[in-house]
């Protein structure tokens, strides 16, 4: 069952969060926009398939190496926004990478795939 981001933070209300993804960080991006970063050990292909289904969009391939896919959540308005509203999925599972390293205090954890979400502003 999809997780509604509003259960994590009200800024994410209505944004689907990949089930089991861990919230790694969030920050105020300015102009009323928030940026959220999630990590998961699921393969990039599973995460992009999930967002293709949930957002009913094929998204845009940003890079092939490393794999990165972007799904728009609304139009970018330069006069009122700092970041384009969307979901960006990045693969950290290449042979040259041990995964995305997230450090919280003295705890280190690596993630195969990272999801960045910038919700559309109200």
The partner residues of 113 in beta bridges, in order of sequence, read: 40, 91
- Tally DSSP H helices, then E strands, for the chain: 1, 10
| Mean per-residue pLDDT, 31-42 | 94
Cβ(22)–Cβ(40) under 8 Å? yes
Question: Tokens 């993630």 correspond to what residue?
Answer: 111
State the total domains in the chain. Answer: 1
By residue range, what is the domain housing residue 27?
A: 3-118
The partner residues of 33 in beta bridges, in order of sequence, read: 30
Q: How many CB atoms lie within 10 A of CB 122?
A: 6
SS3 19: coil
115: nearest Cα among 94, 82, 84, 87: 87
84-121 confidence digits (pLDDT tens): 999 999 999 988 888 999 999 999 999 999 999 999 87
pLDDT at 77 over 80: yes
Per-residue confidence band for 1, with pLDDT thresholds at 50, 70 and 90:
very low
What is the pTM (predicted TM-score) of this model? Answer: 0.90
Cβ(59)–Cβ(73) under 8 Å? no
Question: Tokens 């293709």 correspond to what residue?
Answer: 52
- DSSP string for 97-114: ---EEEEETTEEEEESEE
Structure tokens at 9: 């933070």
């Amino acid at each position: 069952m999809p997780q509604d981001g509003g259960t994590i933070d009200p800024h994410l209300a209505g944004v689907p969060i990949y089930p089991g993804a861990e919230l790694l960080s969030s920050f105020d991006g300015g102009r009323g926009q928030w940026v959220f970063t999630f990590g998961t050990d699921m393969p990039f292909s599973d995460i992009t398939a999930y967002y293709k289904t949930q957002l009913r969009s094929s998204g845009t391939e940003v890079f092939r190496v490393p794999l990165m896919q972007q799904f728009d959540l609304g139009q970018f308005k330069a006069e009122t926004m700092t970041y384009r509203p969307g979901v960006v999925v990045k693969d950290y599972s290449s042979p040259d990478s041990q995964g995305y390293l997230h450090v919280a205090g003295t705890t280190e954890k690596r993630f195969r795939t990272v999801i960045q979400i910038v919700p559309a502003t109200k």
